[in-house]
Amino acid sequence: MTSQSAAGLAGVVVTETQKSKVDGDIGKLQYHGYNILDLAEYAQFEEVVYLLWWNKLPNKAEFEAFEQKLAKLRHIEPEIVQTMKLFPKDTHPMAALRTAVSMLGMWDPNADDNSPEANYEQSCNLLAIMPTVVAAWSRIRKGKEPIAPREDLTLAANFLYMLHGTEPTEAQIDAIDAYLVLLADHGLNASTFSARVTVSTLSDIYSAVVTALGTLKGPAHGGANQKAMEQFMDIGSPDKVDAWFDDLIANKGRIMGIGHRVYKAEDPRATILRDRTRKLAEEGDSKWYDIAWQLEQKARAHEYFLERNLYANVDYYSAIVLYQLGIDVDLFTPLFAMSRVAGWCAHIAEQWEDNRLIRPRADYVGPLDLEWVDLADRD
Ligand SMILES: CC(C)(COP(=O)(O)OP(=O)(O)OC[C@H]1O[C@@H](n2cnc3c(N)ncnc32)[C@H](O)[C@@H]1OP(=O)(O)O)[C@@H](O)C(=O)NCCC(=O)NCCS
């Protein structure tokens, strides 16, 4: 880059937010002042959503009313399910989710109402229905009928129920709920920024979430959890880690799930998930944890990773947690989306509270003042 521009907008502050603070130098993350370590330990995902949307933790009555409101919104329009049955069966779940969310907007008669009241209703709608869409597509593509959502379960428990058709255990619910808490918001990450750009034009919230889903899908962002698991599967067994790592270094490859634009210390979410993965591994098959742990140790001991402050990020160990729970690998990024939609909606509302069109500039570095040449006269 020859101009003064900041490649990838690295370090550029473009707005203020009350939603989350990412302190990359010391590896600390807070949602509206609450440490992620406490939230992962004590909060249920819906409480965290309330915190992000209302800038305060709910009291008991507020929490119960919020939970019930969300639970009632879980059902998808039958027409949307019918349309999903026409998708090619090998459609990636992120593409299916992106398309279904676009359809949700078509079925909402108030989709173009940008008032705070309508925005809140639409946010609830999106948060409640996205798990139903993800679970439905997971079944439809395997030739199975979707399972209707239940209103008596938490969002995490209901998702697992719709996915597998059986009552999840407390340990499974707890693992998914903690995962959802950890991924709910993260400053001005790429997908959140893209959602803010979309609503800054006064477009609608469904369009913004479609934009954000498309952005999250990339392997440099939310797609990394799937790629991280595929890399562990490619390694195959703990005794192959050394050779795989040497090959990666020789070919200047990237370890998926390592490195972060903001964290130059360990991502606190990775610390929590490593611990959970280890505990799950102690109770069952430890192969995937062993591969991930050994690969991480190789990287932490290598000067290339040390010089660049490259640590495991949230996607590295979350891939193993989700795999240990029997979630299909290509559903990992949609699960990320089911959580991050909380942050997207929080930021969309915040953007609209004090909106100005987001429209940066580019330094033009191409040729100037060229003379027109007729088509017939061009080389
Ligand atoms: C997350 C990520 C995109 C951040 O990118 P960024 O801030 O633009 O940083 P860069 O891509 O410029 O990387 C900086 C340096 O570290 C290296 N690097 C970054 N991540 C790396 C990784 N996972 N493995 C090996 N090297 C890596 C780059 O090659 C670059 O080296 P160089 O300075 O010699 O060119 C990047 O770390 C990455 O691709 N990680 C893997 C994908 C991933 O896990 N994404 C999820 C993020 S939550």
pLDDT in tens, 166-210: 999 999 999 999 999 999 999 999 999 999 999 999 999 999 999
- Ligand 1 pocket mutation pick from 217, 231, 310 by most atoms within 8 angstroms of CB: 310
Both 337 and 319 in one domain: the answer is no
Residue 74 near residue 124 (C-beta atoms within 8 A): no
Both 305 and 349 in one domain: the answer is no
347 classed as catalytic = no
Question: Ligand 1 mean position to 260 CA, how many Å?
Answer: 6
Structural Rg of the chain based on CA atoms = 22
- The domain tally of the chain equals 2
Residue carrying the six token digits 């991502």: 267
Both 260 and 150 in one domain: the answer is no
Task: Please list the ranges in the chain whose pLDDT falls under 70.
Answer: 1-4
Both 97 and 75 in one domain: the answer is yes
Asked whether residue 3 is domain-assigned, the answer is: no
Asked whether residue 313 is domain-assigned, the answer is: yes
Asked whether residue 139 is domain-assigned, the answer is: yes
Asked whether residue 4 is domain-assigned, the answer is: no
From the candidates 260, 275, 347, 374, which is the catalytic residue?
A: 260
Rounded CA gap, 324 and 320, in Å?
6
Residue 116 near residue 8 (C-beta atoms within 8 A): no
Strands 20-23 and 34-35 turn out to be unpaired
Strands 28-31 and 34-35 turn out to be antiparallel
Residue type at 205?
Answer: I
Residue 98 near residue 214 (C-beta atoms within 8 A): yes
Both 264 and 343 in one domain: the answer is no
Both 187 and 239 in one domain: the answer is no
Query: Which is the closest atom of ligand 1 to the Cα of 248?
Result: 25
Does residue 248 have its Cβ closer than 6 Å to ligand 1? no
Handedness of CA 200, 348, 30, 216 (dihedral sign): negative
pLDDT in tens, 245-279: 999 999 999 999 999 999 999 999 999 999 999 98
- Write down which residue in 275, 308, 324 finishes a domain: 324
**Residue 359: how many other CB atoms lie within 10 Å:** 8
Residue 14 near residue 146 (C-beta atoms within 8 A): no
Q: What is the pLDDT of residue 1?
A: 59
Both 183 and 38 in one domain: the answer is yes
Q: What is the pLDDT of residue 168?
A: 94
Both 269 and 344 in one domain: the answer is no
Which residue puts its alpha carbon closest to atom 9 of ligand 1?
261
- Ligand 1 pocket mutation pick from 215, 308, 314, 317 by most atoms within 8 angstroms of CB: 308
Asked whether residue 377 is domain-assigned, the answer is: no
Does residue 261 have its Cβ closer than 6 Å to ligand 1? yes
Residue type at 349?
Answer: A
Range of the domain at 69: 30-220+332-353
315 classed as catalytic = yes
Closest CA to 108 of 118, 99, 117: 118
Question: Ligand 1 mean position to 303 CA, how many Å?
Answer: 15
User: Which stretch of DSSP H or E encloses residue 6?
Assistant: none
Both 148 and 296 in one domain: the answer is no
Rounded CA gap, 50 and 345, in Å?
11
CATH of the domain at 248: 1.10.230.10
Which residue puts its alpha carbon closest to atom 19 of ligand 1?
259
Asked whether residue 2 is domain-assigned, the answer is: no
Both 281 and 304 in one domain: the answer is yes
Does residue 223 have its Cβ closer than 6 Å to ligand 1? no
Asked whether residue 42 is domain-assigned, the answer is: yes
Both 255 and 108 in one domain: the answer is no
Structure-block tokens of residue 153: 């379960």
**Residue 274: how many other CB atoms lie within 10 Å:** 21
Q: What is the pLDDT of residue 22?
A: 97
Both 197 and 107 in one domain: the answer is yes
